[in-house]
Structure 1
Amino acid sequence: MEQAVTVGLDGSAESMAAAHWAAGEALRHHRTLCLLHAWPMLSPKAVAAPSEADQNYWSKRLVDDARNELHERCPDLPLTEALVAEDATTALLRAAAESWMCSARVGWGLPKASSWATSACTWWAVRNGP
């Protein structure tokens, strides 16, 4: 299976900027872009309830909004989504190990030691392989 470019989303402008950067990398390297949002309180099963009662509503909306914005700018970019019921650090480090490249804004659950960014940088990237 092809390794994707993965970007962590938290709803901030910085994470959306990281998503646009990651989309460009995915296009340049002919990869799929995976939109990842991690939140420990995600409900394990889809809730058949009105949106105001769906525990996962805001997480789904955050990813949907990002997908729509990216699709508008990059209609040919293959996109996948991952809503993960775990803390951001665990989810991002797992994604980094499984992805060709992983991007997220610094501070989104990432310890400084795992990032290649300075305090002035708002995202980090890890690339696996050539």
Structure 2
Amino acid sequence: MVTMPNRLTVGLDGSPESTAAARWAAREAELRGATLDLVHAEEWLEYPPLPVATTEERRHWAETVLRDTAEEARRAHPSLKVDTRRVDGLPSLALTHAAEDSDMLVLGSRALGSIAGFLVGSTGSATIAETERPVVLVRAIGRAGTAPDGEGDRGPVVVGVDIHQPCDKLLAFAFEEASFRHCPLVIVHGWSPPPILSYAPALDPGIHQEMARGITSALDEMVRPWREKYPAAQVDSRATIGQSAIQILDAASAAALVVVGRRIRRSAFGTHIGPIAHAVMHHAVSPVAVIAHD
């Protein structure tokens, strides 16, 4: 098993999205036997409920939000250990620092509608780019139209992988999540034939099948050590033709959790979040875990 700090941190700002994130994280912490750490970043509020307020009023409001959310978590999960704290500083850095000793950082995402998808927000995107801890994004409204607290999420864990890149961190997280939840794990690799082969079926009808067999074999080889480590896991690995993000989203339509990776970039330039992770973050209905890896 992967060694974890046994703590889950939630960024809490009093919005319905962060409340949904706290409920989901409370259930997750119970599954892991972990502590739930509720954190309010003082400067985080992109849409502050108290636009004009004294420092004392803002402090009182933040303490009330933390206290009420903690009490709700304790009522729902009596055995759960819950901590609360306020932190100061640049939001993305403050939340990153707060989650340094955590298994994961859990944040809320706002819905933009069924077509437009979801808004991760500038703070959420910046935090994902800053931290190397897993970040889970939770929507305020789940597939059934209710807040996703984890109790009703009985679907599989879905993870998107690239057979051409190291994916051990993604697979470690995904296998462990499926183990905690006692649910199936779906592993997806989307691929497209090179453009030069667009006319290949007319020349050789079997060329796509041959390529597909090779890619499936490579995916099976990537997954094999993890199947051996988790022999009880129910695993469905798929190498499907099509854009990776679309294949992941299709497989994740009924998922309890979707897992995607982002490459760690040491450069100060760029968003640090790849196009596949970006698409899944903004369009998956299920909670999305973003795993940083080299």
TM-score of the superposition, structure 1-length normalised?
Answer: 0.74
- Identity in percent: 32
Question: How many Å apart are 1:127 and its aligned residue?
Answer: 6.9
In structure 2, what residue type is equivalent to 1:93?
T
Task: Give unpaired runs (5+ residues) of structure 1.
Answer: 42-51
Question: Equivalent of 1:109, from 100, 123, 146?
Answer: 123
In structure 1, what residue type is equivalent to 2:282?
S
User: CA 1:65 to 1:89, structure 2 compared with 1: closer, same or farther past 3 Å?
Assistant: same
Task: Give unpaired runs (5+ residues) of structure 2.
Answer: 45-53, 109-119, 130-134, 136-276
Residue 83 (1) aligns with residue 246 (2): no
Question: How many Å apart are 1:14 and its aligned residue?
Answer: 1.0
Residue by residue over 1:29-80, the C-alpha shift from the partner in whole angstroms, topping out at 9 and shown as x without a partner, is 1110000100149xxxxxxxxxx98241111111111111111111110001
Q: Is the 8 A contact 2:70 2:82 kept in 1?
A: yes
User: CA 1:125 to 1:63, structure 2 compared with 1: closer, same or farther past 3 Å?
Assistant: farther
**Which one is further off, 119-128 or 13-22?**
119-128
1:54 aligns with: 56
Q: Is the 8 A contact 1:18 1:103 kept in 2?
A: yes
User: How many residues align structurally?
Assistant: 117
Greater Cα radius of gyration, structure 1 or 2: 2
Question: Equivalent of 1:70, from 70, 73, 84?
Answer: 73
Give the number of the structure whose residues are more often strand, by fraction. Answer: 2
1: CA distance between counterparts of 2:94 and 2:34? 20
User: Which structure is richer in relative contact order (CA contacts within 8 A, separation 6 or more)?
Assistant: 1
Tell me the SS of whatever aligns to 2:62.
Answer: helix
Q: Is the 8 A contact 1:7 1:36 kept in 2?
A: yes
Tell me the SS of whatever aligns to 1:104.
Answer: strand
Mapping of 1:34-45 within 5 angstroms?
34-40=37-43
Question: How many Å apart are 1:118 and its aligned residue?
Answer: 1.7
2: CA distance between counterparts of 1:108 and 1:35? 20
User: CA 1:82 to 1:125, structure 2 compared with 1: closer, same or farther past 3 Å?
Assistant: farther
Tell me the SS of whatever aligns to 1:109.
Answer: helix
Q: Is the 8 A contact 1:8 1:92 kept in 2?
A: yes
In structure 2, what residue type is equivalent to 1:120?
H
User: CA 1:79 to 1:111, structure 2 compared with 1: closer, same or farther past 3 Å?
Assistant: same
2:10 aligns with: 7
Tell me the SS of whatever aligns to 1:81.
Answer: strand
Tell me the SS of whatever aligns to 2:9.
Answer: strand
**Which one is further off, 105-114 or 62-71?**
105-114
Residue 118 (1) aligns with residue 277 (2): no
Q: Is the 8 A contact 1:23 1:70 kept in 2?
A: yes
1:44 aligns with: none
Question: How many Å apart are 1:88 and its aligned residue?
Answer: 2.2
TM-score of the superposition, structure 2-length normalised?
Answer: 0.35
1: CA distance between counterparts of 2:122 and 2:72? 21
Q: Is the 8 A contact 2:9 2:102 kept in 1?
A: yes
User: CA 1:98 to 1:82, structure 2 compared with 1: closer, same or farther past 3 Å?
Assistant: same
Question: How many Å apart are 1:126 and its aligned residue?
Answer: 5.6
